[in-house]
Amino acid sequence: MIRKLFKRVFGRSARARSAVSGAAIPFEQHGVSRDGISYGAKRVTDGLQAAGFKAYVVGGAVRDLLLQREPKDFDVATDATPEEVRRVFRRAHIIGRRFRLVHVMFGQETVEVSTFRRALEAEEAQTDAHGRILRDNEFGNMEQDAARRDFTANALFYDPTTQEIFDYHQGVADVQAKVLRMIGDPATRYREDPVRMLRAVRLSAKLGMTIAPATAQPIFGMKELLSNVPEARLLDEMLKLLLSGHAVECVKQLRAMHLHHGLLPMLDVILEQPLGERFVMLALENTDRRIRDDKPTSPAFLFAALLWHEVLTVWSKRMATGERPLPALNEAMEIVLERQRKKLAIPRRYDVTMKELWLLQPRLEQRAGQRPFRLLEQPRFRAAYDFLLLRCESGEADPELGEWWTEFQDATDERRAEMLVPDSDGGQKKRRRRRKKPANGAPAAETPVGE
């Protein structure tokens, strides 16, 4: 006990000892100007400093500014406690139970303010049987706060007042060399938090940085640890990855490092079929493009795309046993979603949209009578049409179908009437019969989309 206290007061962890103690790098050497800092983050650092506290912009924002990229958001680290932070600002809320953060609001912008923390020494930390840290930190000082962060590039503190960067782990040099390097012993740090493996992949892909060999190497032997991570956290990280604007690169890297197995189990199988791989990659490219163009993207669309070929496979198998198309599709969707749920918990709130997208695919094949008009009125028509275009582009659906809908949705009434496909296959009779016995209230699929 006394030894522990002594160590806490006088000692430093091996990680902190190895650091260059707080080298302040002047503006001339790094070029990050105060102008790059958001209005809110400047207000927060100015306000805290005026109240006598230390306050720095920290983490991803400093790294992004060094790389001349626009930061997604700004985080501030300070030696003020959450209560002290809250007292300085008018619109500030303390959030989180385990480790409390403060959200300070300025109009649309929210700045996340955290008090310096330190990682606990091994004997103080609570870990699970695999070494994953369950309770990991307490208030600490700035140097300790740098040491608990994951990569050297993410452990930089920027003072908007002096325009200096405080760098304990040669992070500026690493960013300039575009190297992502784990602070401390990489294997230990992955064991503490296996999500860091996914973060390495995502950040390197997104920022065009190479993972330092010693940081990459342990990943190959440690990927199983991801199965101990709580599902919600895994999903969070997967969403960040898929919606990073660099999903194609990320998925390629995940595959190269054999990290995709536990995450999207079907991805393995799908990526091995040429049509499946093409479809998934096109869907990811499409999402990346939309994100870069600042267009909205929906996780449900993406998950629907990732699982589509799995649905197709199960659907066509069931139809091969004589099941009718629509019930077979409904069954296939349930089976695929259930299987996926056992791995990466895709939240149920996405189910409705995913199912709608899938169910609309066979309906897009119906081009006779009133049906195409009814489809145009569907709130999900646009998403279903985008989905169809990807299917056409991947070679799974007939391109002519996609072209037909492209023209139909913007055509004049006369042209639309001309475009309708005559109901020549006895569909009239079939429809009348079916109307008496609707399946799930949804129109019956007449032309199944098989493989």
Residues that bind Mg ion (CB under 5 A): 60
Bridging pattern class, strands 179-180 and 210-211: parallel
- Is the separation of the CB atoms in 10 and 4 below 8 Å? no
Say which amino acid occupies 180.
L
Which of ligand ATP, Mg ion, none does residue 193 bind to, with CB < 5 to 8 Å depending on kind? ligand ATP
Which CB atom, from 148 or from 367, has the smaller least distance to Mg ion?
A: 148
Q: Annotated catalytic, 64? A: no
177: its two tokens = 């060399």
Say which amino acid occupies 20.
V
- Nearest Cα neighbor of 260 from 278, 280, 285 is 280
- Nearest Cα neighbor of 112 from 98, 132, 92 is 92
Binding residues (CB under 6 A) for ligand ATP: these are: 59-60, 72, 75, 149-150, 154-155, 193, 195-196, 199
Q: How far is the CB of 285 from Mg ion (least distance, A)?
A: 24
Which CB atom, from 22 or from 395, has the smaller least distance to ligand ATP?
A: 22
- Is the separation of the CB atoms in 343 and 352 below 8 Å? no
SS3 state of residue 7:
helix
Q: How far is the CB of 236 from Mg ion (least distance, A)?
A: 13
Q: How far is the CB of 271 from ligand ATP (least distance, A)?
A: 25
**Active-site residue (options: 75, 136, 174, 288):** 75
Write the CA distances from 222 to 136, 258, 310, 328, 335, integer angstroms. Answer: 20, 10, 28, 40, 30
Q: Annotated catalytic, 150? A: yes
CA–CA separation, 188 and 191 (whole Å): 5
Which CB atom, from 86 or from 196, has the smaller least distance to ligand ATP?
A: 196
CA–CA separation, 182 and 344 (whole Å): 26
Q: How far is the CB of 329 from ligand ATP (least distance, A)?
A: 37
Q: How far is the CB of 114 from Mg ion (least distance, A)?
A: 12
Which of ligand ATP, Mg ion, none does residue 62 bind to, with CB < 5 to 8 Å depending on kind? none
Which of ligand ATP, Mg ion, none does residue 195 bind to, with CB < 5 to 8 Å depending on kind? ligand ATP
Which CB atom, from 60 or from 140, has the smaller least distance to ligand ATP?
A: 60
Residue 57 pairs in a beta bridge with 76, 158
Residue whose entry in the numeric block shows the structure tokens 């096109």: 282
Which of Mg ion, ligand ATP, none does residue 154 bind to, with CB < 5 to 8 Å depending on kind? ligand ATP
Which CB atom, from 48 or from 175, has the smaller least distance to ligand ATP?
A: 175
Residue whose entry in the numeric block shows the structure tokens 């996914």: 198
Q: Annotated catalytic, 193? A: no
**Active-site residue (options: 145, 150, 167, 174):** 150
CA–CA separation, 174 and 180 (whole Å): 7
**Active-site residue (options: 73, 193, 351, 386):** 73
Which CB atom, from 36 or from 60, has the smaller least distance to Mg ion?
A: 60
Which of ligand ATP, Mg ion, none does residue 149 bind to, with CB < 5 to 8 Å depending on kind? ligand ATP
Which of ligand ATP, Mg ion, none does residue 283 bind to, with CB < 5 to 8 Å depending on kind? none
Say which amino acid occupies 320.
A
Catalytic residues: 73, 75, 150
